[in-house]
Structure 1
Amino acid sequence: MTFRQFLAATALSAGLLFPAAAQAQTLRAGATVSDPDGGEVGTIVSVEGDVIVLRTDRHEVRLPASALRATETGAVAGVTRDQLNAQIDQAMAQAQQAFVVGATVRDPAGVVVGPVQEVTADTVTVQFRDRQIRLPRNALTAGDGGLVIGATVVSSRRSSALRRPARR
């Protein structure tokens, strides 16, 4: 299960428990999130549109706002803090397993950049055309079928290159 699949599964299960998405608009930073039995899950760090950043005792994670139901005193999640931490731990472990020599690196559009040649604690070396590119490890994320880089492969008659997305 990739981290994106984990988020989708969390959203789906929460959507079944809390179908009123309109309530998500009342979620606010600083609110305490509880489980259905009243146990503390964590605190909302920020609300960014339809995404909330939730801090548990061990993790900070981005979740769809529909995963929570707003209440007068805070919010309610469909899972306990221990369940959420375990799901996050599992998703992170699976994501780290994608960082292996031979893994395929793709751009956000799914275009193959090349295979991973070397992995260190801080960097990943990728074979791109006729050269090797050393990237910071945090420039890549685990995705379906390998790793994904934030840059886009751009090809022309004369050359091909990796280009960063335009800044907004």
Structure 2
Amino acid sequence: MKFDRKFLMIGAALALPAAPAFAQTPMPAPTAAPTQSAPAANPAPTAAAGQPQLAAGGKVYDTKGGEVGTIESVDASGAVVSTGTNKVKLPTNSFAAGKTGPMIAMTKAELDAAAGAAAKPLALNVGATIYGPQNAEVGKIEAVEGDLVTVATAKTKAKLPKSAFAMGDNGPVIGMTAAQLDAAAGAASASTSTPANPS
């Protein structure tokens, strides 16, 4: 289903790593939630201390305390956040407990921009330029095979799932710079070529 695939992209895009590093990592774009109204649900259970309390009507904030929007509904798979401009369904693991309430790693403007970009059709064609944060060029698409896209930077090649891409103003975007992609590809290559230690 198209919605499920986009929903999975949101989870990868907004999952908050341990603080304070989450403010340092650019995130790929989430997808807009369907606009039909969903029935209000019970708040998501919070198993551990420090988990955000998600409930319909609650406010959502960014990491600096700025208001992002209001939670419209919550179910086991996520919460629909309305910014006033867009409604975006975010998985529950995208939220962290903040001083003023649940928070995400995007500002209202970033979430609105990402929702707008996600609404654009995604074209992953061989030869297309891939962009990263601040529209910096990352590399070019070298191949598209099934659900994998090979991106060639100036230094390396990396296979990324199609769900790692969103459509930006200039073309396909990912949440990494060329240097970050090169480092990740190098680390993945090293881990697969390192011989196991015999016991």
Give the structure-1-normalised TM-score: 0.47
Larger strand fraction of residues: 1
Task: Indicate the structure (1 or 2) with the bigger Cα radius of gyration.
Answer: 1
Structure with greater contact order relative to length (CA < 8 Å, sep ≥ 6): 2
Give TM-score, length-normalised by structure 2: 0.40
